[in-house]
Amino acid sequence: MLQQTPVARVEPIWTDWMARWPTPSAFAAASRADVLRAWGKLGYPRRALRLHAAAAVIATEHGDAVPADVDELEALPGVGSYTARAVLAFGHGRRAPVVDTNVRRVVARAVHGAGDAGPARTRADLADVDALLPADDATAAVLSAGLMELGAVVCTARAPRCGDCPVIAACAWQAAGRPAYDGPRKAAQGFAGTDRQVRGRLLDVLRAATDPVDRATLDAAWSDAAQRDRCLHSLLVDGLAEQHDDGRFALPV
């Protein structure tokens, strides 16, 4: 849920989610339609399906217990380098280099003296953070949480609060006079008018409907017919929607 999504928006949904589905097997038994409705407007709904699929794997292949092994975790749908190590560190209290957008920024500044992180260098990023971690599991896990929290609360992207920073004395960026970031800027994403917006509109209609909807109902969600059809097709391909025998559309069973 937290992938590319602010903590404050995730928290209430996560709380309800865990009360409703306290175990992987309980969650795996839910229908995809129920999962997508519970996911609501968190965004990137394919994450919900991947989480659902991961729960099924955990239930059937791992005895309903979340694995404590990087490779087993990364083999789960939707679990990549960051999530696998975050589960290890925060779920299992293990020593694991947790590299998210916050940690990348903290390391870029405090260690490398740069204004910001720039493009990901996966291997080097992992090595940078690994070098910061103490040997013992419990302390390393706490430091991992601290690095993330520092980036999220103090060493922020826009206006870092260096006056409140506990490691300002050791910060290479501070020592260098806080030079502005000069590396390549990631291309602005844009949203209005994109397929992502259209897919969101279409899925919004399906989530709100208690019964399957006909094509005309979906037509009302977006005026450009070609783009609408393309996006509807992509939702079907992604398993986020299904077409029934009578031609109507609904969330997947």
Residues near 158 by beta carbon (within 8 Å), at least 6 away in sequence:
none
CB of 246 vs DNA, minimal distance in Å: 25
CB nearer DNA, residue 29 or residue 157: 157
CA distances from 128 to 97, 143, 179 (A): 9, 14, 21
Contact 23, 56 (CB under 8 A): no
Taking the least distance from each CB to DNA, the nearer of 5 and 217 is 5
**Shortest approach of DNA to residue 169 CB, angstroms?**
23
Determine the 3-state secondary structure of 239 from DSSP: coil
What is the H or E stretch that residue 196 is in? Answer: helix 195-208
**Contact residues: DNA, CB under 7 A:** 2-7, 9, 41-46, 50, 74, 77-84, 86, 100-102, 105, 116, 119, 148-149, 151-152, 156-159, 185-189, 191, 194-197, 199-201, 203-204, 234, 240
Q: Measured from the CB atom, is 200 or 212 closer to DNA?
A: 200
Element (H, E) at 169: none
The first and second tokens of residue 201, run together, are 């509109």
Which of residues 125 and 135 has its CB atom nearest to DNA in the complex? 125
Which residues have C-beta within 8 Å of that of residue 173, sequence separation ≥ 6? 108, 109, 110, 112, 113, 114, 115, 179
Q: Measured from the CB atom, is 53 or 246 closer to DNA?
A: 53
* DSSP string covering 126-147: HHHHHHHS-SSHHHHHHHHHHH
* 243 three-class SS: strand
Q: How far is the CB of 102 from DNA (least distance, A)?
A: 5
Could you tell me the smallest distance in angstroms from the CB atom of residue 34 to DNA?
17
Residue ranges with strand state E in 137-229: none
Least CB distance to DNA at residue 95 (A): 18
Nearer of residues 111 and 154 to DNA, judged by Cβ = 154
Distance of closest approach, residue 234 Cβ to DNA, in angstroms: 6
